[in-house]
Amino acid sequence: MKIGIPRSLYYYYFKDLWKYFFEYLNIELVISPETNKEIMDLGLKYSNDEMCLSMKNYIGHIAYLKDKCTHILIPRIDNYGLNNQTCTNFLSTYDIVNNLFDVKILNYNINLKNGETEFKGFLNVGRELGINKKYIKEAYTYACIRTKKAKKEKVLKNLRNLRSDKRKILLVGHPYNVYDKLIGEPIIDLLKGLNIEIIYCDLFYTKDEYSEYSKGLYWKYSKENISSISKCIDRIDGIIFLSSFPCGPDSLVNELVIRKLNKPYINIIVDDVECYGGIETRIESFVDILKVL
């Protein structure tokens, strides 16, 4: 048995949890490689034109994995309670992949409004794989403990970087964009080359997802991204908003937040991963502006 994990979308939220869960059950994982031109081209081949770049990226990873594993893990994540909705991509991927490819999907649901919790989802995954309920519970507990520890170390490092003497820029974007090899990594490499300390919006303690910038927001992950601004606004020099075209939630949320900001910012929307020249020029100019403020 080999469980395929696409290195896109959900991966950047749940990779540690999945890794430790299946590791405890002694089940082999096949994780697709970092996004490359072959994978992105596969995504463009199978995707609808109206899909956002991140979704096309995800489908490319599915296409890469389809003949390399016995199952592909694709959760269906609707919400984490009232006014904690996810993007429709997180709800629709199962059906899209099921219609596009002849693959065996390992699926679980998260819909807190209907009582479908993450724990119940992992129980269902274990049952489908024929694993004893007690063993599944042990694996889930083990995975949660290890994941929490790994996240804490990353958060502490991010907070330490806020004390750096370098100019600091908060990078606000979904992890599946920020950490992707083709979408976000060129921007990260550019900023590091310009001697900028990058502060990552997902590496804060997220107990308080509400702030003056995120009041009334409907989308869970947007709230988490935006709430990071309040947690470090006085210790950063500027903000970069990073999103993929044409992301509906980001187009609305970023605009609403920008209107409230009293801090230098730049809004980067990535559509073509092969044409970063204009983006590089904008970021270099933005950094030059920060140097004289």
Q: Each residue of 182-231: pLDDT tens digit?
A: 999 999 999 999 999 999 999 998 655 556 777 778 899 998 999 899 89
Q: Are 166 and 65 found together in one domain?
A: no
| End-to-end CA, the chain | 57
Q: Are 98 and 173 found together in one domain?
A: no
Is 151 domain-assigned? Answer: no
Query: In terms of residue numbers, what domain contains 100?
Result: 2-146
* Residues whose CB is less than 8 angstroms from the CB of residue 158 and which lie 6 or more positions away in sequence, other chains included: 199, 200, 203, 204
Is 157 domain-assigned? Answer: no
- Write down the residue that tokens 């083990």 correspond to: 142
pLDDT given for residue 103 in this prediction: 94
pLDDT given for residue 212 in this prediction: 76
pLDDT given for residue 282 in this prediction: 95
* Residues whose CB is less than 8 angstroms from the CB of residue 5 and which lie 6 or more positions away in sequence, other chains included: 11, 15, 18, 29, 30, 31, 32, 65, 72, 73
Task: Give the domain-ending residue among 86, 113, 146.
Answer: 146
Is 156 domain-assigned? Answer: no
Q: Based on the structure, what is the number of domains in the chain?
A: 2
Q: Of 89 and 187, which is predicted with more confidence?
A: 187
Q: Are 114 and 238 found together in one domain?
A: no
pLDDT given for residue 206 in this prediction: 67
Q: Are 131 and 248 found together in one domain?
A: no
Report DSSP state, residue 166: S
Mean pLDDT, the chain, whole residue set: 93
Task: Give the domain-ending residue among 82, 113, 146.
Answer: 146
pLDDT given for residue 165 in this prediction: 96
Q: Residue 277 pLDDT > 90, yes or no?
A: no
Give the mean pLDDT of 119-142. 96
Percent of the chain with pLDDT over 90: 84
Q: Are 104 and 167 found together in one domain?
A: no
Q: Are 142 and 259 found together in one domain?
A: no
Task: Give the domain-ending residue among 117, 146, 175.
Answer: 146
The CATH number for 241's domain is 3.40.50.360
With contact defined as beta carbons under 8 Å apart, do 235 and 162 qualify?
yes
Q: Each residue of 1-53: pLDDT tens digit?
A: 899 999 999 999 999 999 999 999 999 999 999 999 999 999 999 998 889 99
Crossing angle of helices 248-258 and 220-232, in 10° steps, is 30
Is 47 domain-assigned? Answer: yes
Q: Are 11 and 141 found together in one domain?
A: yes
Is 154 domain-assigned? Answer: no
Identify residue 271 by its one-letter amino acid code.
Answer: D
pLDDT given for residue 148 in this prediction: 95
Q: Are 19 and 50 found together in one domain?
A: yes
Give the mean pLDDT of 83-97. 90
pLDDT given for residue 90 in this prediction: 85
Q: Are 198 and 276 found together in one domain?
A: yes
pLDDT given for residue 82 in this prediction: 85
The CATH number for 26's domain is 3.40.50
Q: Are 110 and 172 found together in one domain?
A: no
pLDDT given for residue 208 in this prediction: 54
Is 152 domain-assigned? Answer: no
Is 18 domain-assigned? Answer: yes
| Separation CA 75–CA 82 (nearest Å) | 19
Q: Are 36 and 103 found together in one domain?
A: yes
Question: Can you give the pTM of this predicted structure?
Answer: 0.94
Is 122 domain-assigned? Answer: yes
pLDDT given for residue 250 in this prediction: 92
pLDDT given for residue 209 in this prediction: 58
Give the confidence band of 275 by pLDDT, cuts at 50, 70, 90: confident
Q: Are 70 and 191 found together in one domain?
A: no
